[in-house]
Each structure stands twice: as structure tokens, then as C-alpha cells.
Amino acid sequence: MRLPALLSPSAVLAAAIALASPAAAQNLPGVSETEIRIGNTLPYTGPAAAYGALGRTFDAYFAMINAAGGVNGRMIRFISYDDGFSPPVTLEQTRRLVEEDDVLLIFQQVGTNPSLAVRDYLNAAGVPQLFASSGSPLLDDPAAYPWTMRWNPSFEAEGIVYARYVAENFPGAKVGILYRNDEAGIGYVAAMRAQLPAGTPIIALPYDVNDPTVDAQIAAFQADGVEVFLDFAIATAASRAIARAAELGWTPHHILTSAATGADILAAAGPGNAVGIVSAIFMKDPDLPEWAADEDIAAYRTFLAEHFPEGAAAGLYALAAYSAAGTLVDILRAAGDDLSRSHIMALAANLDEMPAAGLLPGIALDTDPTDYAPLEEFQLARFDGTAFVPFGPILTGAP
């Protein structure tokens, strides 16, 4: 089964007719004759609360879909709980969603460790864990975990792209890496070490997501003469790293993980302090003039204006959530009346160069039953104080 390489309602409806098989709604988890229940957990509070913007975007997007008639006549009921970016809480709230709220699937949980905390439970229960907001390759293992699929390009692929950029543009420079002391951060560091030329001086310093500051690490990088700063911090830590470097007058070549490119994170770092930072992106930045007449961005701006005005402050986070939610709705529409969990996963596992709203030209969703990674390409971009301006070709992080 392949979804069409189009996002128009007519194309999706055609897919639904072709692909759907009869299934009694009353016998399906999370589905009734009038409703589809979608579950989610996000850090609305705590050190990663910036990602709560994703949940608010989802809520507004599904409300828009419902106002237009829902999905094949069924309304989406989006149920989202705060997990504070704490894996034990993620598991507790996910159990609540599955066992009490009877959701069809879990959608776009944020973070590697929260997503991994529920992976075994959801796979044992046969509940789709769709489009986890993480780049961990541990969430792309369909042979062992056929009910789990991530959304973001992999950490290793992103790290490889940065390593190649550093090797080409700053040969012999001393490299400092700030990373979360977890699987995600360790994955970034491993990719960098493997790809940078032998003999590259590297200083890697960890931080914990609950640490109040990363000031000591930034000071240590400056004292050690780091010239290229690989900043793999997220949320509050990313803002603080940018701000502290400015306070110290430290101006390395600064490369920032794509997970920390949200407008609120950059704004919290202080006006102008993020100018010149390089990151890897896969979404169009709505603030760039070159996308002013783009059909995707025009539709997105209409969504913000009519359904979610506060979403503009979230920048790329809101657009990424809009894109993922639209992809889920396309899959649900294509499923027709067969909204069984197995059918949903079969459709998600057969995305054939499928566009999604807001992806950069040349980047599309692509999965098959042996490869659950929908996105694996980037373009480098430099922050100009307002938006990330792409430069260079579309890149893949393949070793």
C-alpha cells in the first residue's frame, strides 16, 4: 500500500476508496462511528516546556479539521497530557491514554528518553507510537518494534552533516561539544567523533536536562580555546548557552542542534545573540521572504491567523507540528473505514516520496516496512536575526 504523492483532499479520498477495507467501528480501539481518539504526552511544564507549543499546535490543527467535517465524517478527539519531559511520567500518562482514554494511537511524543520509556509497553499492547519527535535510531527498528516510528531525521545523520561541514570549513580547529547526558546527546557525540578527521582536538562536556545552567561548560570551552562550538543543548539549556557565550564575549563558530531552533528559544537567548548560528533544517522558515508566495506557507499562515494566532511565536516548532499533524490526518483519511491499528501502521510504513506541508524542496517522507525513518535529509542554514537562511545543497547524513 502506498499513499499518493499528493496532499490534496481529492487524492486522499481516492486513496481511501482504494485502500479501505470494511471494519466495524464499534470493534476498533479508539474509534467510534463519530470519533477518533488520538493520544499524546508533551512537556507543557519543566525544563523542556518550550515544546508544549507542539501540543497547542496539534490541538488547534485538529480543531480546524473538525470544523471542516472531520476525517471521513469522524471528529478527532485529541487528548494530551503533561509529562514534564520525565520518562516515568510519560509512561504513567501513556498507560492512562491507552487503558482509560482508549486512544487509537499515540502521536508525536517529544524526546528520546520519554519515547523510549513507552516503546516496550506500546509494542506489547500493539498500539501505534507514530511519529515520535526524536531522532534516535532506537526508534527506527521495525523488526523489533513494529509499532514505533519516529519523525525527525536521526541524530547520527545530523551529526555527520555537521562533522563534514566542520572538516571542510574549519580544518584543524579545536571543537567543543555540549551534549545532554542521555542517549540522544551521546549519539551526537559519537557521530561527530567518527566523522571528524583523525587528530581533531575535541572537548565534549555533558549537562543534565534539569541542570539550572550550563555556564560552567561554556566558560570551560572558552578557557580551552574552542573555536567551533557544537551546541547540542535543547530548550532552556540552549538559550542559556547562547546567552552565556555572549556575556563572556566568546564568539566561536556556533553550530546549534535542529531541536533547538524554535523562535522562543532563540528569543530567550537575547536579541541578536543568536545571529550567525548555523543549524541543519528540513522545514521552510515562514519568516523568509523567499517563501512569501509559497502555497504551503500561505496555507500555514491562514491556519495561524484563523485558528492559532499565538503559534507564530513558536516559529519552526509550530510549522513542524502542523506538518506532522497534516500527515497523520492524510493517513487517517486514506484508511477510510478501516481504522484498525494494523492498517494505520501499514499505511505509515508505505510512504512513497510523499510531500508534507512545509518541507524544503527536495525533501519528502519516505518509509517502507524495513525502514521506518520518514526523514533523513537536511539543508544547512544560518540565523540572520529573524530566520534561518538556507545555504548549500540538500544533504544526507549517510555514512
Strand 377-383 to strand 395-396: parallel, antiparallel, or no bridges (unpaired)?
antiparallel
Return the C-alpha cell found at 309.
Answer: 494566532
User: Can you tell me whether residue 259 is helix, strand or coil?
Assistant: helix
Angle at 140 (CA atoms; ends 83, 372), nearest 5 degrees: 110
Output the pLDDT for position 242. 96
- pLDDT tens across 213-224, in order? 999 999 999 999
Domain with CATH 3.40.50.2300 in the chain: 9-153+290-368, 155-281+380-396
Distance separating alpha carbons of residues 349 and 326, to the nearest angstrom: 16
3-state helix, strand, coil in the chain (%, to 5): 45, 20, 40
pLDDT of residue 25: 52
Residue 21's pLDDT is what? Answer: 42
Name the CATH code of domain 9-153+290-368 (choices 3.40.50.1000, 3.40.190.10, 1.10.287.470, 3.40.50.2300).
3.40.50.2300
CATH architecture label of 155-281+380-396: 3-Layer(aba) Sandwich (3.40)
pLDDT at 344: 97
Q: How many alpha carbons fall within 13 Å on the CB side of residue 63?
A: 12
For the whole model, what pTM was predicted? Answer: 0.83
With beta carbons less than 8 A apart as the criterion, state whether 382 and 261 touch. Answer: no
Q: Is 383 exposed, middle or buried (0-12, 13-18, 19+ CB in 10 A)?
A: buried
Short-list 110, 113, 129, 119, CA closest to 38: 129
**pLDDT at res. 26:** 52
Long-range contact set of residues 146-150: C-beta below 8 Å, sequence gap at least 24: 146/345, 147/122, 147/123, 147/341, 147/345, 148/115, 148/119, 148/122, 148/123, 148/372, 149/345, 149/348, 149/349, 149/367, 149/372, 149/374, 150/115, 150/372, 150/373, 150/374
Per-residue model confidence (pLDDT) at position 73? 95
Residue 252, C-beta contacts closer than 8 angstroms, at least 6 positions apart: 176, 221, 226, 227, 228, 229, 245
Report residues of the chain scoring pLDDT below 50.
1-24
pLDDT digits (tens, 9 = 90+) for 73-101: 999 999 999 999 999 999 999 999 999 99
105, 36 Cβ separation under 8 angstroms: no
178 alpha carbon, distance to own chain's centre: 20
